[in-house]
Structure 1
């Protein structure tokens, strides 16, 4: 049936004009997006710096009201995103569609593709939480709270890894995969701008050129900055502890183990400076080179723990953990704790501190990671894309957590650690584990390697975020001259992280991020509906002989 047949379905929209400035400071940028985003981020920074008491009170109130009110929304939204990814990958008709034109080949090899996924994804979190999260759940998790198992016992090990896998598995990567697919599908099949608003074009059409589209992109930029701020905050804390471990002085840490103000300033100057320089070099140079470097260093760290740590114990944990995770995946993903009952309030508090925090973090991170994944995934089929983005990184996260976290738990259970690991701050637990399994000289050298690894992960995450923010502000332009704006966003990220760390540490950044992620969570829900509609309509178009790509539409018009 031809596309001219009034009974047939219309070809897809392949044009989305977005007004950008053609001169001046904002040349090539959408002023309607860039200026409001900069104002909002600047106001957050000024609020934290000049009104710290008010900021603390507001964050505390938000933590007990807004966040708990939307806990169910975060839980069920992420579950829906995973389900949609699974359906699109499994069905032959949808899975075979390509993110690009027919026959188009991927730009990057699979190895470089996976390396960049980790470099821009959750590498920093994996370093901080590799020992920290399993040890935390080893001491407290829903099973322990209910009294089913005893804290820090052998019986607490399996549930500790089930909940760790829940947070670092399909939920994280499924969220990234869906956002990236929603953007990449319309950008590379329909030649729409590589920006967040384009993902909603299948739902709202050309209205995304105007005010509604500007709002979507502004919300995405703010969510990205706050999401990356959490990652940078975690990385800065562990980076400072690492500098202290390699002998740079006691002045780096406060008596309670947190980072001192001079240490935060030094770390941010080093990390943001390096990130900004890398961002100026672009994705094909700095980010790709650093991603390959941190993949190599991560493999060396894994190999060290496999040889010197509890390798066999970790292998057993991996098998048990995956079986338990998959076997209980659906009920775990849909569970929303109630404050009723004798331990109800404890269960709700645990879920807010862990699961809801993670779901919000992944959502806040998703505009940046999703756009970055979309940018490096052109030419792959939907099936290859979803399996590659969801399954492989999840498995590597599981291996990572069981090797590092399993070693830390084994050392505590057999008495070798004597409480030195479990009682350390989360930022110090990885270094404390190394201090137990290695002699002092080797532990010093490996701690230095972790500091370098942290720096590469921080740099790749931050510079990727800066480039993606500029891509959104530039209406999808990935090649424009954005140096002045790269410098602004680098400084803004440093200011957000620094002000929040001084204001209330990681907790202040965490609460701010969860609130900032809330508006974008509604955008993500619309993106999920939009990509399903886009793919379903394209299948109908293929059946009716109507073009589904920009090239096909152009040829059909001739």
Structure 2
């Protein structure tokens, strides 16, 4: 059978008039209904919602550990192999003559800010501190929690969750969407990345379902990041003297949640209205500069030698253990309190949760990466979207988290840092290091940096959701739709935080996110197959003189 040109025409029905002009009504309306039902349910019936969501969440975490561990290993393998193989690595995410729209610094700034910046400010300190006290090596009896001999273990496990596997989740979705959109002229939306498998069937109901799943996963994944960010933003506001926003436990109260959400979503909606090339680019550059300044502070005034050791040995230990860590699944022996059961519980609470979070984040970050990566080669894309960001995470964890551990082990900090809520740990650390006055100034800077990350994440998510709803068209960004998704995203975060009650708000968001991530994880596995099939066939087309991209004169609608 002779090779035919690939599918280069995927019509998606959009409205020609009215409120939804330019939008796929099936995707936009049903997405809004699902999100609205979730918010109303969580607020009006918090106990029932919590009980049912927790039951579903427990079932998923107990029965899908293998699934999440293995699919993340798959994503990492596919990204790495495609970048290494010369025939695929040099393929451009675009056609001949396409040049990158953004310079390297702005490109990386937007990727890092939208994808992971918010979480970094919370977890760069909190996660190494937690794993320093407890991790699978401690549970298995190979190390003692809180002792110097457990530092390397702490970084091995921290790097696992924020390293190559995490960024491979974003990379595989972004690469798939960019490849089929920019090389074949298909709409920049999730369904287009599956055309080698499902073909023209994606124009109808099947494609609508896939895009709806992507929208819901995006809202819930971003809500998780914003939930952590809101808690930390409130902690920072309290540190700089704005009172009444926290409860006795030091976490955000209802008033604090509502004020923080109002500030964040107002700013992010205004930025979203200005588009990617203006507001989001500017904010991304600002938060990258502030991030470099803050990181420089920890490099110079923090525990520099301790951090260098943590970075060097943490990366070595992580890479050496990676083949095992990527495929290792802990299973209970059925005995409550046994080592095997504790290991399974730890993996469900940490590794499986993180993989679900990155999967839920993938449609948003993946489309955003695709949007700003036109003209890059696959090798450049993997380097910029998977390798370099992971190394940046390692650096942050080593010097920010390393300073906290060193101050506690050797600097006389005691429980000043470790005893604080996760969002407040970084503020407690800088105040301990600098004293009240200089600590206030640094805390204010961190609050500003955090706000830019939160706004960048939220406004990017709003634009991406609208792009999916508009069948991949970045043009029809009617203001009412931007306002709706800005308000809806804030409502999801606020509703679940408040419905979860004191100390349970983030758990409620986590539960909803894990549930929303599972359907999209199936889509991502299909994206791997579609990408491999598409690149394989395009390579054969090119070698046989058959049209493979839209830069040819004839555009065919033949099936893959």
TM-score of the superposed pair, with normalisation by structure 2: 0.97
Which stretch of structure 1 is more off in the superposition, 476-485 or 533-542? 476-485
2:130 pairs with one of 109, 130, 136: 136
Separation in structure 2 between the aligned mates of residue 113 and residue 356 of structure 1, nearest angstrom: 29
Runs of 4+ in 1 over 6 A off after TM superposition: none
1:48 pairs with one of 23, 42, 45: 42
Separation in structure 1 between the aligned mates of residue 195 and residue 145 of structure 2, nearest angstrom: 50
Map 1:28-427 → 2, pairs under 5 A: 28-249=22-243, 251-340=244-333, 342-427=338-423
> 5+ unaligned residues in a row in structure 1: which ranges?
1-6
| Contact 2:21/2:476 (<8 A) preserved | no
Coordinate RMSD, CA, aligned: 1.1
Residue 21 of structure 1: aligned partner: 15
Shift of 1:388: 1.4
| Contact 2:5/2:556 (<8 A) preserved | no
| Contact 1:67/1:515 (<8 A) preserved | no
Separation in structure 2 between the aligned mates of residue 212 and residue 536 of structure 1, nearest angstrom: 25
Separation in structure 2 between the aligned mates of residue 520 and residue 63 of structure 1, nearest angstrom: 15
**Is 1:524 aligned with 2:524?**
yes
Q: How many residues of Structure 1 are paired with residues of Structure 2 in the alignment?
A: 550
What is the CA deviation profile of residues 131-187 of structure 1, one whole-angstrom value per residue up to 9, with x for unaligned ones?
100001011100111111111000111010001100001011111111001000010
**Is 1:539 aligned with 2:533?**
no
Separation in structure 1 between the aligned mates of residue 248 and residue 553 of structure 2, nearest angstrom: 66
What is the CA deviation profile of residues 392-442 of structure 1, one whole-angstrom value per residue up to 9, with x for unaligned ones?
111111001100000000011114211111111101100111112112111
Separation in structure 2 between the aligned mates of residue 114 and residue 64 of structure 1, nearest angstrom: 36
What is the CA deviation profile of residues 320-378 of structure 1, one whole-angstrom value per residue up to 9, with x for unaligned ones?
01100110101001010011272111111111111111101111000010000001000
Separation in structure 2 between the aligned mates of residue 112 and residue 63 of structure 1, nearest angstrom: 38
What is the CA deviation profile of residues 240-287 of structure 1, one whole-angstrom value per residue up to 9, with x for unaligned ones?
0000000011x1110111101111110000000000000000000000
Separation in structure 2 between the aligned mates of residue 44 and residue 481 of structure 1, nearest angstrom: 24
Separation in structure 2 between the aligned mates of residue 117 and residue 272 of structure 1, nearest angstrom: 20
| Contact 1:100/1:189 (<8 A) preserved | yes
| Contact 1:11/1:553 (<8 A) preserved | no
SS of the equivalent of 1:19 reads coil
What is the CA deviation profile of residues 287-333 of structure 1, one whole-angstrom value per residue up to 9, with x for unaligned ones?
00000000000001001111110011101110101100110101001
Separation in structure 1 between the aligned mates of residue 427 and residue 386 of structure 2, nearest angstrom: 29
SS of the equivalent of 1:65 reads helix
Shift of 1:104: 2.0
| Contact 2:109/2:288 (<8 A) preserved | yes
Separation in structure 2 between the aligned mates of residue 266 and residue 487 of structure 1, nearest angstrom: 18
Separation in structure 2 between the aligned mates of residue 387 and residue 60 of structure 1, nearest angstrom: 38
Separation in structure 1 between the aligned mates of residue 340 and residue 478 of structure 2, nearest angstrom: 51
| Contact 1:225/1:493 (<8 A) preserved | yes
What is the CA deviation profile of residues 50-98 of structure 1, one whole-angstrom value per residue up to 9, with x for unaligned ones?
1111012113322322222111111100100100001100000010111
Which stretch of structure 1 is more off in the superposition, 434-443 or 469-478? 434-443
Residue 509 of structure 1: aligned partner: 509
| Contact 2:128/2:397 (<8 A) preserved | yes
Separation in structure 2 between the aligned mates of residue 275 and residue 107 of structure 1, nearest angstrom: 23
Separation in structure 2 between the aligned mates of residue 519 and residue 345 of structure 1, nearest angstrom: 27
**Is 1:441 aligned with 2:434?**
no
Separation in structure 1 between the aligned mates of residue 450 and residue 280 of structure 2, nearest angstrom: 14
What is the CA deviation profile of residues 203-262 of structure 1, one whole-angstrom value per residue up to 9, with x for unaligned ones?
11110000100000000000000000001100000000000000011x111011110111
TM-score of the superposed pair, with normalisation by structure 1: 0.97
What is the CA deviation profile of residues 456-482 of structure 1, one whole-angstrom value per residue up to 9, with x for unaligned ones?
000000000000000000001102232
Residue 549 of structure 1: aligned partner: 549
Shift of 1:556: 8.8
Separation in structure 2 between the aligned mates of residue 63 and residue 44 of structure 1, nearest angstrom: 15
Residue 430 of structure 1: aligned partner: 426
| Contact 1:470/1:482 (<8 A) preserved | no
Separation in structure 1 between the aligned mates of residue 482 and residue 97 of structure 2, nearest angstrom: 35
**Is 1:500 aligned with 2:496?**
yes
